[in-house]
Amino acid sequence: MTVALSVAILALFFLVIFQIAKASEYVAILKGEEVSRKQSNKINGFLMIAFLVLGLVGVWYCNELLYDKTLLVQPSASVEGERVDEMLWITLAVTGVVFILTQILLFWFAYKYQESENRKPYFFAHSTKLEAIWTAIPAVALTVLVVMGLRSWFLFTGDAPKGAMEVEVVGKQFGWIFRYAGEDGIMGKKYFKNIDEAKSNPLGQIWEDEANYDDVVTTQTMYVVKGKPVKMIIGSRDVIHDVGLSHFRLKMDAVPGTPTTLWFTPKYTTAEMKEITKNPNFQYEISCDQMCGNGHYSMKGVIEVVSQAEYDAWMAKQTPNYLLAFPEKAAQPVADKEAEKGTTAQATSTKNSSKM
C-alpha cells in the first residue's frame, strides 16, 4: 500500500516537473527563443558561481562533521604507520591546493566568461610556454611524491628487523587462525591435505616434523608485544583474504598457495589505545579487506597488543596444538576439560597448562 502510494506520489512529482519544463519551452517560443536562451544562460552562469561557493563551504562542513570519525585524529598504532600518515598529509597538502585552485578557476571562468554580447572570444590556440609550465610543475611535484613514497614502501616491504617475533596468520572462510613457533622458534612444516578440523589440525601441520610439537595455534585473537617488531607470515586456506590493519595503517593479502609477509612495530598497547581514543571498547580489529564470499563482512580478528610480561604470561597458558591433537602424548595428565575441548585450539581457559 505504502509502496503504491509512494510510487504514485513520485509519478505525480515527475509529471509536475515535466509539465513545468514543457511549459517553459512554450514560453520560450512566445518570448522569442533567443531572449529566453540568454535568460537561462544567465541563470546557469550564476549557478556556476553559487555551486563553487556552496561546494567549498560543503567541503569544509563535511570535514567538520566527519574528521573526528576518521583515523586522522588517532596516532598511528605502529611505528611504520607514522610514515603512511606523513605521506598522507603531504599528499593531501599537494592535491588539496591543486583541487581548490583548479575548481575555483573552472567555475569562476564559467561564471565570468558566460555569454555576453560585448565580448569577443579570444582566439588562443596554443602557447608552448604555458604548456611547458604545466607539464613541468606536475612532473616535479610527482617526482618528489614518488621518491618519498618509495622510501617508505621499501621499508614496509623490506626485511623485518632481527629479533622480530614471527606469527603465522592464516585466513579461511570466515575467520583467522594464528600460529606461534613455540620455544624452539621454528614453525613446523605443514601440508594443506593434512588439514582436519575434527582432529584439531586446522593448519595441516605435519606431525612427523618435531618442530611442530611446541607450535601454538589460536584463532580469532592474536597477541603481540608493544615495541617489539612482529612479522606476519600470511597465508590462506581457501580463497584470497586480506589482513587489514587500519590502526597500524597497513594491510596485506592472504593468498592460497603463495605466502606473503608483513611486519610492523606496535606502539601502543590495547589498553593505552583505549585511553587515547577515549573508547573503552576499542579493539585493534583485523578486517578482511578482500572479497572472500558471503561472510566477508563478518571476518573479524583481533590483535591484543600487550607488554612483554603480559605476553609471556599469556603464552605460558597456551597448550601446543600437538597436545590438543594427541592428548595422550601429554607428559602429565591433562585436565578432562581440556581434552574435551579438542576440536579447537582456542586457548582461553587453559589454567594448568602442560607444556612439554
Q: Footprint of other proteins on residues 122-181 (CB under 8 A)?
A: 122-127, 130-131, 134-135, 137-139, 142, 145-146, 148-150, 152-154, 156-158, 172-173
Residues 218-237 touching other proteins, rule: CB under 8 A, are: 234-235, 237
Residues 315-354 touching other proteins, rule: CB under 8 A, are: none
Least distance in angstroms from the C-beta of 355 to other proteins: 29
Which residue stretch of 57-65, 217-225, 317-325, 335-343 sits at the interface with other proteins (rule: CB under 8 A)? 57-65
Over the Cα atoms of the chain, what is R_g?
Answer: 31
| Pairing state between β 230-236 and 241-245 | unpaired
Cα–Cα dist 92/141, whole Å: 13
Closer residue to other proteins (CB): 143 or 352: 143
Return the residue of 71, 206, 339, 356 that touches other proteins, per CB under 8 A.
Answer: 71
Residues 293-322 touching other proteins, rule: CB under 8 A, are: 293-298, 300
Q: Is residue 185 a contact partner of residue 165, using CB atoms and an 8 Å limit?
A: no
Strands (E), 184-299: 216-219, 221-225, 230-236, 241-245, 250-254, 260-264, 284-288
Q: Is residue 305 a contact partner of residue 273, using CB atoms and an 8 Å limit?
A: yes
Closer residue to other proteins (CB): 168 or 242: 242
Return the residue of 9, 57, 93, 109 that touches other proteins, per CB under 8 A.
Answer: 109
DSSP codes joined into one string, 50-113: HHHHHHHHHHHHHHHHHGGGSGGGS--SBTTHHHHHHHHHHHHHHHHHHHHHHHHHHHHHHHHT
Answer yes or no whether residue 193 interacts with other proteins by CB under 8 A: yes
Closer residue to other proteins (CB): 143 or 308: 143
Least distance in angstroms from the C-beta of 77 to other proteins: 11
Least distance in angstroms from the C-beta of 189 to other proteins: 13
Return the residue of 44, 308, 349, 352 that touches other proteins, per CB under 8 A.
Answer: 44
Cα–Cα dist 256/79, whole Å: 29
Q: How many residues bind other proteins (CB under 8 A)?
A: 127
Which residue stretch of 177-185, 222-230, 274-282, 315-323 sits at the interface with other proteins (rule: CB under 8 A)? 274-282
All residues at 6 or more sequence positions from 75 whose CB lies less than 8 Å from its CB, including other chains: 82, 267, 268, 276
Which residues are bridge partners to 251 per DSSP?
244
